[in-house]
Homo-oligomer: A and B are copies of this chain.
């Protein structure tokens, strides 16, 4: 089935370890059957953010929320879907400013679609850059862990350049020399 393919792909992207990915997928699946309306506590729970933050987003103009007879917020499915989008964008590092801009475009109507696309494409590139940065850092940290542990491969001198480790030090030397001041 097509949905299974999708989930498989998403899970692969997430990696196969830990409860985080399971949670994430669960959240995604939940989007399929949202209740008609939700309270602030329910939405906060769904998105794993605080009610304070939800009110903050509303104040910031990112979403409009109706009130019931008691003045309590009533989130309809549209608001919740928008908040899912917003929190995902926040989680991926998009600044509030850009989000406010994007939402203003959405509210301005269909003729802003090209500009919205520009925003999304730029953010996509930002995410890709960030992933590449993190991947390099990950390589460095992993190498550093490996040398600290003593299970060193044959490329130590070269990899030293990546980790910031003194590359003149050999793996057999004591740690205090192989990892100067780090």
Contact = CB atoms under 8 A, between A and B. Distances in A.
A35 interface: no
A182 B82 contact: yes
Interface stretch (A9-17, A48-56, A66-74): A9-17
When all copies of this chain in the complex are counted, the total is: 2
A119 to B, nearest CB: 10
14 contacts: A2-B157, A3-B157, A14-B132, A15-B128, A20-B129, A20-B132, A81-B182, A91-B133, A92-B141, A93-B134, A106-B182, A107-B181, A110-B176, A117-B148
Give me the 8 closest cross-chain CB pairs, A-B, nearest first.
A92-B137, A85-B164, A3-B158, A84-B164, A6-B158, A13-B135, A2-B155, A110-B176
Interface of A: 2-3, 5-7, 9-10, 13-15, 18, 20-21, 24, 28-29, 31-32, 78, 81-82, 84-85, 88-89, 91-93, 106-107, 109-110, 113, 116-117, 120-121, 123-124, 127-142, 144-145, 148-149, 154-155, 157-167, 174-176, 180-182
